[in-house]
Structure 1
Amino acid sequence: MGCFQFYIGEKKDEPKTTKSNVISSSCSAFTDREVRQSGSELNSQNASDASTESRGRNQFPSLSERPNNLKVFTFAELKAATKNFSRSTKLGEGGFGCVYKGVIKSSDDPLKRVDVAVKQLGRRGMQGHKEWVTEVNVLGVVEHPNLVKLIGYCAEDDERGIQRLLIYEFMPNSSVDDHLSVKSEAPLSWAMRLKIAQDAARGLAYLHEEMEFQIIFRDFKASNILLDEEWNAKLSDFGLARLGPSEGLTHVSTAVVGTMGYAAPEYIQTGRLTSKSDVWSYGVFLYELITGRRPLDRNRPRSEQKLLEWVKPYLSDAKKFQQILDPRLERKQILKSAHKLSLVANRCLSRHGKTRPKMSEVLQMLNRVVEESAGIGSPHPPLKNVEQKETSQEAGKSSKRRIMDTRVIDGSWLVRMWSSKHVRTC
């Protein structure tokens, strides 16, 4: 599932705000200056609206000024932790770069070893660096059981050039996308899928509503939901995250980035980003859990390639609805529960962003579905883990983000979904 980036109309220069650097003074002066400049991307709030006053607004406090417990690693330490970035430790490769499994000393007990995931920035220029800075600034100050923990980072120069790395807690059970894949030998049970839906909703609700500032994930998808050793789901990869609009504003105007099949229609059309864009993506994800299919799958027959278009004719009839359920599940047993989950998904996929529920409301609806579904399906995790070489803390991103023109982006179908009106896109 490829990521995309394109601009609606003429690209606007986003205002720059000076940020205190989250990187420690042990890094080079060049690195310190670079991070301050790039870090302003997260705080830029080019959020104008016809009904709101965009000038003179208050900016969110700089995230990098907040205290954090991130550890600063040297490149030499990470080389040793990953056996010199050996192929044998490589977990995967995505748009950001390569991800390796490493072993470091525990900060609590020096005699104890801890598995980590080390993500190394590839040679992608400033965009990749901005994503690195965003991850440090966001995950350095937020903490929640359903967000992957960032342990530390590395920012230094050596004979190979500029080194930018991120060190996360290791997530041994891969991504949800891996387990939903038709290639998975251990598909997730219905009870596990409901739990994952709850965990992911908790993570998004925390980002949107439970802090004094709001963070919009902007790239919510199954491959960015990782599973720890206890099979708890955690959101990962915050490189595209943005601060929500300032008080009094309705949205953030920004370049449209994300993953095809998940992006909200109003965001694709206008570049106006709100937390309801994440809610749409979450609704798409619920249909992934229900059907076991990806939002966009070019390997299927033409009429079945776009998940939301494919499921729509089956939603109004209970007998038909059963046909879209993941065939690896006990369809008759989960039918009633899956239908209730689809009703939650439909609320998230409301044509107009303002009518979509907040994630806290989505979580309440989900909790009721889970309560009413108690005893349906095995709550136990799959017996066999997906092979680690197919996994990635990049969460399965095999295809790199690329710039695409609005005329060729396959997004018009999203605009038509859940609406009787056909809206024409450029």
Structure 2
Amino acid sequence: MSRIIDRSKRRNISQVFTFRELAVATKKFNPHCLVGEGGFGRVYKGYIESIDQIIAVKQLDRNGLQGNREFFSEVLTLSLVQHSNLVKLIGYCADGDQRLLVYEFMASGSLENHLLDLRPGKEPLDWTTRMKIASGAAKGLEYLHDVADPQIIYRDFKASNILLDEDFNPKLSDFGLAKLGPTGGKEHVSTRVMGTYGYCAPEYQMTGQLTKMSDVYSFGVVFLEIISGRRVIDMSRPTEEQNLIHWAAPLFKDRSQFTAIADPLLGGKYPKKSLYQALAIAAMCIQEEADRRPLIADVVMALEYLAMPIDEKKATMTSTESIHHVDSVKGGNAREELGV
């Protein structure tokens, strides 16, 4: 984070832990407590008796990709925000060269675990749960873009950064790459290109100019992963299917192919209209031109309907009305672009 923030605006006061406290909490970082691992380091489940809370401890690799700057960026960002769809930072440790972050524990792990790294025999997510996760994650982005003061651009929206509680409510995590939004009448923040390949908006990748619409593009990519069950980049697939966006593009143009985009693990158990509407939202979010993408607030509005249990939908809206609702996201062009 490049700008100093008035401490009076802080919403959360993060607790400072000693390395010893966190070693005790995780049984000396016992491998049996290990719940996740990545380029940043390792995540352990633990329990802190003094606050009577189960926690997740992210121990950053001292030689890893996430250095001091990202560590303090995450602490600062999460001290500024508070929302039910953002993971809560309980505290941190900066003892010597040790860098650890302490979060609320998310019992169901990441969306990636349930969607893209599904173990054999594990039940796939059903359609309603997928829409509920997408809706909640969009609400987290909406808070960062439209409520947080100063505005925050997330910059690293992907399935592995969406954590799930025991009821599969989603929370955005990992704010090491987050940036404060533009000020002084500017429309973008200029920064070096960072994030995960495949999720970055094309204009950000080419120019380094970051806007809220960069996050909307990344959301669209993840939403397409949620619908299809495919990774955005998957080198294990045939050449023409390795890039999800390129593979889906011609299918978007042919209504008879829409069901081919849906995850086969769903077994066809989804309302066809909901699939068409979800694809319309995804297609609008991943448009090449940033100014043609919808605002995240409009996406949230459309997804709230899709996330409703089927019996509730019947009680609140006819299918024709629901299509009009999705159309309103971006000037009525959803049906025109996807033929729904």
TM-score (norm 2): 0.86
Equivalent position to 1:114, from 23, 36, 53: 53
Match of 1:340 in 2: 277
CA distance in 2, matches of 1:74, 1:346: 47
Match of 1:196 in 2: 133
CA distance in 2, matches of 1:87, 1:102: 12
CA distance in 1, matches of 2:284, 2:147: 22
Match of 2:107 in 1: 172
CA distance in 1, matches of 2:204, 2:6: 25
Which structure features the higher share of helix residues? 2
CA distance in 2, matches of 1:343, 1:211: 28
User: 2:39, 2:65 within 8 Å by CA — same for their partners in 1?
Assistant: no
Match of 2:333 in 1: none
Letter in 2 for 1:179: H
Match of 1:322 in 2: 259
User: 2:193, 2:204 within 8 Å by CA — same for their partners in 1?
Assistant: yes
Match of 2:25 in 1: 81
Match of 1:151 in 2: 90
Aligned-residue offset at 1:355? 2.1
In structure 2, the residue corresponding to 1:119 is in which secondary structure? strand
Equivalent position to 1:359, from 272, 296, 320: 296
Matched, 1:349 2:286: yes
Equivalent position to 1:294, from 231, 244, 260: 231
Letter in 1 for 2:114: H
CA distance in 2, matches of 1:333, 1:201: 21
Equivalent position to 2:219, from 279, 282, 288: 282
**Aligned pairs for 1:16-415 within 5 A:** 42-44=1-3, 62=5, 66-67=9-10, 68-105=12-49, 107=51, 113-124=52-63, 128-157=67-96, 162-181=97-116, 183-184=118-119, 185-331=122-268, 333-371=270-308, 373-374=310-311
CA distance in 2, matches of 1:116, 1:371: 31
List per-residue Cα deviations over 1:367-395 (Å, max 9, x = no partner).
Answer: 2334595569xxxxxxxxxxxxxxxxxxx
Match of 2:317 in 1: none
**Number of residue pairs the alignment of both structures matches:** 311
User: 1:174, 1:227 within 8 Å by CA — same for their partners in 2?
Assistant: yes
Aligned-residue offset at 1:349? 1.4
User: 1:175, 1:227 within 8 Å by CA — same for their partners in 2?
Assistant: yes
* TM-aligned CA distance change 1:104 to 1:166, over 3 Å: same
Letter in 2 for 1:334: P
List per-residue Cα deviations over 1:49-76 (Å, max 9, x = no partner).
Answer: xxxxxxxxxxxx5165644321111111
Aligned-residue offset at 1:90? 1.4
List per-residue Cα deviations over 1:202-234 (Å, max 9, x = no partner).
Answer: 000000001231100000001100001222100
CA distance in 1, matches of 2:18, 2:201: 40
CA distance in 2, matches of 1:166, 1:263: 25
The structure with the larger Rg is: 1
Which blocks of at least 5 consecutive residues in structure 2 are unaligned? 314-336
* TM-aligned CA distance change 1:137 to 1:301, over 3 Å: same
CA distance in 2, matches of 1:118, 1:372: 34
In structure 2, the residue corresponding to 1:257 is in which secondary structure? coil
Letter in 2 for 1:164: R
Structure 1 window deviating more from structure 2 (182-191 vs 115-124): it is 182-191
Q: What RMSD, in angstroms, separates the aligned Cα atoms of the two structures?
A: 2.0
Match of 1:12 in 2: none
Letter in 2 for 1:147: L
Aligned-residue offset at 1:156? 1.6
Letter in 2 for 1:171: M
CA distance in 1, matches of 2:46, 2:7: 26
In structure 2, the residue corresponding to 1:103 is in which secondary structure? strand
User: 1:283, 1:348 within 8 Å by CA — same for their partners in 2?
Assistant: yes
User: 2:41, 2:64 within 8 Å by CA — same for their partners in 1?
Assistant: no
Structure with bigger RCO (C-alpha 8 Å, 6+ apart): 1
User: 1:337, 1:373 within 8 Å by CA — same for their partners in 2?
Assistant: no
